[in-house]
C-alpha cells in the first residue's frame, strides 16, 4: 500500500466520520424539536386545565360561557364535569407525549389502563356525552370517543347512573 492510498483511506474515514456526525446532529435536532412541541402542547393544556380548575373551585365562573354549562344545573354537576375534564387534560398530555415518542410504551399503556377505569365511571361518561364537551385536538377526541365506546360503564349499585353513549 502506497502513501497516497493510505492518505485516501484516511481522508475517506474522516469524511465518513464528519457525515455521520452531521447525520447524528440532524437526528438530535429533530428529537429536540419534538421535545419542544411536547413542551408547548403541555403548557397550552395546563393553561386550559387551570381555567377548568377555576370552575371546579367556583362553579359560577362556568356560567361566563353559557355553552360550557349546557345541561348542567347544580354546582356539583359543574364541578364533576370540569373535574373530569381536568383528568382528561392530564391524560391528553400523556397521550400526546407518547405519540411524539417522548414517553415509553409501557408508561403510556399503564395510563391507558387507568383511563379505562375512569372512562367506565358514570360522571366521566356524562362529561363525554355532554353537548358542550370539546377537546381541542381532533385525533385525541376520536381516541377518547373510541376508548369510551369500547369500555363498559360501571354503574353505581342502586343509582340511576346508567348513562348510554
pLDDT digits (tens, 9 = 90+) for 16-72: 988 888 888 888 888 888 889 899 989 999 999 999 999 999 999 988 988 888 889
Distance of alpha carbon 45 from alpha carbon 38, whole angstroms: 10
> Domain for residue 12, yes or no?
no
> Domain for residue 13, yes or no?
no
Judge whether residue 161 has pLDDT over 60: no
Tell me 160's DSSP state.
Answer: S
pLDDT at 158: 55
Domain count, the chain: 1
pLDDT digits (tens, 9 = 90+) for 85-121: 999 999 999 999 999 999 999 999 999 999 999 999 9
> Domain for residue 159, yes or no?
no
User: Between vectors from CA 86 to CA 85 and to CA 87, what angle results, nearest 5°?
Assistant: 90
Cβ atoms of 32 and 55 closer than 8 Å? no
Q: What is the mean pLDDT of residues 122-139?
A: 88
pLDDT at 106: 96
> Domain for residue 16, yes or no?
no
- Which residue carries 385536538 as its cell? 137
pLDDT at 151: 94
Q: For the beta carbon of residue 49, count every other beta carbon within 10 angstroms.
A: 19
Which range marks the domain in which residue 122 is found?
Answer: 38-149
> Domain for residue 21, yes or no?
no
pLDDT at 165: 42
Cβ atoms of 162 and 122 closer than 8 Å? yes
pLDDT at 97: 95
> Domain for residue 91, yes or no?
yes
User: Between vectors from CA 125 to CA 110 and to CA 98, what angle results, nearest 5°?
Assistant: 30
122-129 vs 75-99: helix crossing angle, rounded to 10: 80
pTM value is 0.76
pLDDT at 66: 83
State the pLDDT confidence band at 135, using cuts at 50, 70 and 90: confident
Cβ atoms of 43 and 92 closer than 8 Å? no
- Which residue carries 353559557 as its cell? 66
Distance of alpha carbon 91 from alpha carbon 84, whole angstroms: 11
- Specify burial of residue 121 (Cβ count, 10 A radius: 0-12, 13-18, 19+): buried
> Domain for residue 113, yes or no?
yes
pLDDT at 60: 92
Amino acid at each position: 500500500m502506497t502513501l497516497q492510498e493510505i492518505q485516501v483511506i484516511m481522508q475517506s474515514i474522516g469524511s465518513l466520520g464528519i457525515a455521520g456526525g452531521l447525520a447524528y446532529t440532524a437526528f438530535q435536532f429533530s428529537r429536540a424539536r419534538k421535545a419542544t412541541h411536547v413542551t408547548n402542547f403541555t403548557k397550552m393544556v395546563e393553561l386550559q386545565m387551570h381555567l377548568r380548575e377555576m370552575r371546579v373551585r367556583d362553579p359560577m365562573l362556568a356560567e361566563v360561557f353559557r355553552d360550557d354549562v349546557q345541561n348542567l344545573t347544580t354546582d356539583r354537576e359543574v364541578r364533576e364535569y370540569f373535574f373530569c375534564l381536568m383528568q382528561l387534560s392530564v391524560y391528553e398530555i400523556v397521550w400526546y407525549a407518547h405519540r411524539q415518542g417522548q414517553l415509553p410504551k409501557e408508561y403510556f399503556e399503564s395510563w391507558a389502563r387507568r383511563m379505562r377505569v375512569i372512562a367506565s365511571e358514570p360522571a366521566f361518561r356524562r362529561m363525554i356525552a355532554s353537548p358542550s364537551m370539546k377537546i381541542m385536538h381532533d385525533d385525541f377526541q376520536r381516541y377518547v370517543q373510541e376508548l369510551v365506546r369500547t369500555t363498559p360503564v360501571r354503574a353505581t349499585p342502586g343509582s340511576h347512573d346508567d348513562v348510554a353513549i
